[in-house]
């Protein structure tokens, strides 16, 4: 069964397999899950919802993949999403005529810039000051929400510039526009990491930070860069989120996104211990998380309860990644073999 071995040993196999299982489950148990309707040139349906709602998480997962690959973590991404949404909403604003306060492009760039600065802040704390990543990003998690609320004066800010709606609500060739953004960023990141030596350096730093340093890699710079990039992704994600509802709610935007994103990356095959990373795997992981959420919703269960399911999945994945758990399980089977 060599073909089976070579198929299952590909890291992408298990996440894809899990996704397929979920979809098959829905095929049988969820009425009309795969129904697609074409209205006004747009496709509608549960599957489209998964893509559309999952886009912000996918963007976060891309940035988070690189951070986790360096043995780090970034739990501030949800707050940065809120900040980015707040900045762009405040700058565009506009009245009911739909005329923005500042040019849309400018506002978008400003929002992304702020998000990148947030990422660089995290990067500085981790790489220069040497803080533990969980603590460093915890600070922005706390303060970030506050910054978002201050930016929006603790109000929900509405914006009226029609073109901006394209990001989160628009469709291109029938598919949600946000998916194209995800694909673009994915492509960009894949090129940057695989066509240059960056991907190799990131993996080296994550696998063996000491050896990486001894081999002449500037580990500090690499680590700084991945956190800045995570901020960048959170910035774009914030733009999409804001565009979807044409408003920014500093309190709720991006709430809980960090958990979904971490889960997506971990399911996708990148280990919490750092090292080899799988961008496509993270996207598949995000699809799984979103499908899970949509499935639960399609059953009429309130969306908040999906939190319980996600928590259980995280615990399960953590156990599966724990070597002591795996050897315990192996020991159980080993014993069975001996006594047989």
Partner 1 sequence: MKTRLSIDPRNLPSLVTLALFILMFGLGSVSFTGFFSLQNFLDLFIDNSYLIIIAVGMTLVIISGGIDLSVGSMLALSGMVSASLLEKAHWSPILVIPVVLLMGVAMGFFMGYLIQKFNVPPFIVTLAGLYFARGLCYVVSLFTIAVNNPFWQAAAHAQIKIGNSFISPSVVIAIVVLLAGMFVSRYTKFGRTVYAIGGNEQSAILMGLPVARTKILLYGLSGFCAALAGIVFSFYTLSGYALNGQGMELDTIATVVIGGTLLTGGVGSILGTLFGVLVFGTIQVLIMFQGTLNSWWTRIAIGFLVFVFCLLQRLFESSRKKAKGQENKIAESPAATAS
Partner 2 sequence: MSDKAPIIEMKKINKSFPGVKALSDVDFRLFKGEVHALMGQNGAGKSTLVKVLTGVYKQDSGEIKLGGKPIRPDSPLAAQRMGINTVFQEVNLCLNLSVAENIFIGKEPIRFGSIDWKTMNRKAEEVLSRLNVSIDVTRTLSSYSIAIQQMVAIARVLDSSAKVLILDEPTSSLDENEVEQLFKVIRKLRDEGLAILFITHFLDQTYQISDRITVLKNGSFVGEYEIDKLPKLDLITKMLGKELSDFSYSTKNDGEKDAAAKALKDRGVVLRVKELGLKSSIAPFSLDLEAGDVLGLAGLLGSGRTEMARLIFGIDNADEGEIEIKGKKADIASPRKAMMAGIGFCSEDRKNEGIFAELTIRENIILALQARNGMFKTLSAKKQQTIADELIKSLGIKTPSANNEARQLSGGNQQKVMLARWLATKPIILILDEPTRGIDVGAKLEIMEQVLNLSKAGLGVIFISSEFEEVLRCSNKIAVLKDKAKIAELHGEEMTESGIMHTIAGGK
Task: Using the minimum distance from each CB to partner 2, give the nearer residue, 47 or 120.
Answer: 120
Decide whether 191 or 319 has the Cβ nearer to partner 1: 319
Stretch that binds partner 2, among 31-39, 93-101, 172-180, 199-207 (CB under 8 A): 199-207
Residue among 106, 190, 275, 297 that touches partner 2 (CB under 8 A): 275
CB of 184 to partner 1, least distance (A): 29
- Angle ∠(64,127,199) on CA atoms, nearest 5: 50
Does residue 111 bind partner 1 (CB under 8 A)?
no
Residue 307 within binding range of partner 2, rule CB under 8 A: no
For residues 239 and 130, what is the distance between their CA atoms, to the nearest angstrom? Answer: 31
**Residue 276 makes contact with partner 2 by CB under 8 A:** yes
How far apart CA 181 and CA 187 sit, in angstroms, is 10
Is residue 250 part of the contact set for partner 1 (CB under 8 A)? Answer: yes
| 140: contact with partner 1 by CB under 8 A | yes
For residue 204, the partner it binds in partner 1, partner 2, none, with Cβ less than 5 to 8 A by kind, is partner 2
Does residue number 12 form part of the binding site for partner 2 (CB under 8 A)?
no
- Encoding tokens for residue 225? 């860069």
Q: Does 45 bind partner 2 (CB under 8 A)?
A: no
Q: Does residue 190 belong to the site contacting partner 2 (CB under 8 A)?
A: no
The token duo for 18 is 């899990």
CA-angle at 58, arms to 257 and 223, nearest 5°: 80
Residue 198 interacts with which of partner 2, partner 1, none, CB < 5 to 8 Å by class: partner 2
Smallest separation (angstroms) from partner 2 to the CB of 137? 25
- Short-list 291, 258, 304, 302, CA closest to 67: 258
Angle, vertex CA 189, rays to CA 47 and CA 8, nearest 5: 60
Binding partner of residue 12 among partner 1, partner 2, none, CB cut-off 5 to 8 Å per kind = none
In the set 94, 100, 145, 229, which binds partner 1 (CB under 8 A)?
145
Binding flags for partner 1, 196-235, as an x/- string (CB under 8 A): ---------x---xx--x-----xx--x------------
Q: Are 108 and 243 in contact (CB under 8 A)?
A: no
Among the listed ranges 89-97, 201-209, 243-251, 332-340, the one in contact with partner 2 (CB under 8 A) is 201-209
- The token duo for 164 is 């901006």
Other beta carbons less than 10 A from residue 268's beta carbon = 28
Q: How far is the CB of 213 from partner 2 (least distance, A)?
A: 6
Q: Contact with partner 2 (CB under 8 A): which of 217, 239, 241, 242?
A: 217
Q: Are 277 and 68 in contact (CB under 8 A)?
A: yes
Q: How far is the CB of 59 from partner 1 (least distance, A)?
A: 20
Q: Three-state SS string across 274-317, please?
A: CCCCCHHHHHHHHHHHHHHHHHHHHCCCCHHHHHHHHHHHHHHH
Alpha-carbon gap, residue 155 to 254, rounded angstroms: 16
Long-range Cβ contacts of 174-177 (<8 Å, 24+ apart): 174/38, 174/41, 174/42, 174/43, 175/43, 175/48, 175/51, 176/48, 176/51, 176/52, 176/55
Please identify, among the stretches 11-19, 191-199, 258-266, 286-294, the one whose residues bind partner 2 according to the rule CB under 8 A.
Answer: 191-199
Q: Given the rule CB under 8 A, which residues bind partner 1?
A: 71-73, 75, 125-127, 129-136, 138-147, 149-150, 153-154, 205, 209-210, 213, 219-220, 223, 250, 256, 259, 262, 272-274, 302, 304-312, 314-315, 318-319, 322-325
């Amino acid at each position: 069964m060599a073909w089976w071995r070579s198929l299952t040993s590909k890291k992408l196999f298990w996440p894809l397999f899990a996704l397929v299982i979920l979809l098959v489950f829905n095929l049988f148990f969820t009425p009309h899950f795969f129904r697609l309707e074409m209205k006004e040139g747009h496709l509608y349906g549960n599957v489209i919802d998964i893509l559309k709602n999952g886009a912000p998480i996918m963007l976060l997962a891309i940035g988070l993949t690189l951070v986790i690959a360096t043995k780090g973590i970034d739990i501030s991404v949800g707050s940065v999403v809120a900040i980015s949404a707040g900045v762009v909403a405040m700058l565009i604003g506009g009245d009911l005529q739909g005329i923005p306060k500042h040019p849309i492009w400018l506002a978008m760039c400003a929002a992304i810039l702020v998000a990148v600065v947030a990422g660089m802040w995290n990067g500085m704390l981790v790489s220069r000051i040497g803080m533990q990543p969980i603590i460093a990003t915890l600070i922005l998690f706390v303060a970030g929400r506050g910054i978002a609320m201050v930016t929006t004066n603790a109000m929900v800010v509405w914006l009226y510039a029609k073109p901006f709606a394209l990001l989160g609500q628009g469709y291109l060739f029938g598919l949600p526009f946000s998916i194209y953004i995800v694909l673009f960023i994915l492509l960009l990141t894949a090129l940057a990491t695989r066509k240059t030596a960056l991907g190799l350096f990131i993996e080296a730093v994550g696998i063996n930070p000491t050896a990486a340093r001894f081999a002449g890699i500037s580990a500090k710079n690499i680590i700084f860069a991945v956190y800045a990039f995570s901020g960048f992704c959170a910035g774009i994600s914030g733009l999409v989120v804001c565009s979807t509802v044409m408003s920014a709610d500093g309190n709720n935007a991006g709430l809980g996104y960090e958990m979904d994103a971490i889960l997506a990356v971990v399911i996708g095959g990148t280990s919490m211990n750092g090292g080899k990373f799988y961008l496509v795997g993270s996207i598949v992981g995000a699809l799984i998380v979103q499908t899970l959420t949509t499935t639960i919703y399609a059953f009429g269960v309130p969306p908040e309860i999906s939190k319980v399911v996600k928590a259980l999945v995280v615990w399960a994945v953590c156990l599966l990644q724990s070597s002591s758990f795996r050897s315990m399980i192996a020991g159980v089977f080993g014993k069975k073999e001996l006594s047989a």
